[in-house]
Each structure stands twice: as structure tokens, then as C-alpha cells.
Structure 1
């Protein structure tokens, strides 16, 4: 039981680091406009609204990488052959994603991909099983 809880935490932490890394690269490629404060929700909304397609798509790429890695790590740490823990990681990330999409101006394609991308935790799970 404790190992399973640690597996979910490990999956969330490592998946979050992957997402952070891709989003950091994205901010390097698409920096905040001068005077924009990322901790100000109004400024953040304006930034997201004016972000080009590639900038928004890079967020989805970060989610995809985070999903695969999260499912992989949760499965490896737990040493289970069931996808339950990877799915739990995906559900937790999906909740955060839904919140972010509800407070930021994101287009419909972003909503669709932002929800579907978390299925990739199962790809991480399968990858973990194949790497024994």
C-alpha cells in the first residue's frame, strides 16, 4: 500500500518536472512581453490569449511527455502489472489541466487535446512493463 502511494507521488513529481521543462523551453521560445507578471492572472490570461499556435501546442507536448513519464514511473516504482496507479496519475493531472483550461483562455482544440493527452499514461504503463 505504501509503495503504491509513493508510486503515485513519484509519477506526479517526475511528470510535473517534465511538464515544467517543456514549458520552460516554451517560455524561452515565446517569452512573456515586457512588463508582464506571470503571477498576475490578468497578465497571464493576456499572454496565453496572444500566444501563437506553436506556443499553445508546446503545452500539449509537455502534457504528453508528462503523461508518458508519469505512467512509466508510477508503474516502475509500484512493481505492479495493473494500470491502476498510472490511471490515478492521469486523473490527477487531468484535474489540474481542467482547472488551468477553465481559468485561462484556451481554444477548443486545446480542450480536446488537453483532455485526451492524459490517456498517454497508459503508454507509459505499457512501456514500463516492456522494460523489465
Structure 2
């Protein structure tokens, strides 16, 4: 979009020009590159609370300019975590997605078995890992 410094009547209008330029820059920033980050947080146990927390963590990543990859919000929609073969399949799918991410973000101090496996894999693959409290403070 080309923004003119002149209004429709041909008069110089710097205020409108600056405002429209700011809007254009804001729109461009929204469409800028956003890295994928893998969200690692508990799922099993208090599933409803953990899902709400994972949604909050995902939003936190979006607000920091990232695209969250949160497998435990997706795969339980069609895989049953209580069936060992399906749980194993979900963890495998998560590993594949993790390999596409720039960083792994671990949330909370309660590390579940699934999280421990994800962290171990991230460390083994030397993926950058960042740790956050459940209150979204980096540690």
C-alpha cells in the first residue's frame, strides 16, 4: 500500500500520513516471522486444570511473538492418553513437532513423566530450553 502525504483534496496532511504509516507498520509486524516454540507442561492428573494452563502458556507464547506448538492440546482430541499405545503415539508425534521448533518452553515446577521425557529428548538433541514458572516468570 502506498500512503500519500497529501489528502484527497491535494493538501499536505502529515498527521493522517503518520497515522496511516503507523497502522501499516503494525500490520507488517503482525505478519512478520514468528518462531515455533514447543510448549511443555503437564497434561495428566488434573486434566481440566492442566488444559486451561496449557492454553494460558500458549497465549503467553503468542503474546511474545511466537507460534506455540502444544501437542497436549491437540492430540487428546483424537488419541486416548489412558491407552498406552495411543499415549506412546502421541509422545512420538510430539517429538516430531518438537524437532521443528526453535525452542522448548517448560512451564511449572511439577514435571510429569511425559514432560520429563520431552525435556530429556530436548537436552539430548541440544534444543534450546527455557523454563518458566506457572506464573509465567522465566527462571
Structure 1 and Structure 2 fold alike (TM over 0.5): no
Q: Which has the larger radius of gyration?
A: 2
Greater helix share, 1 or 2? 1
TM (norm. structure 1) is 0.30
More strand by share: 2
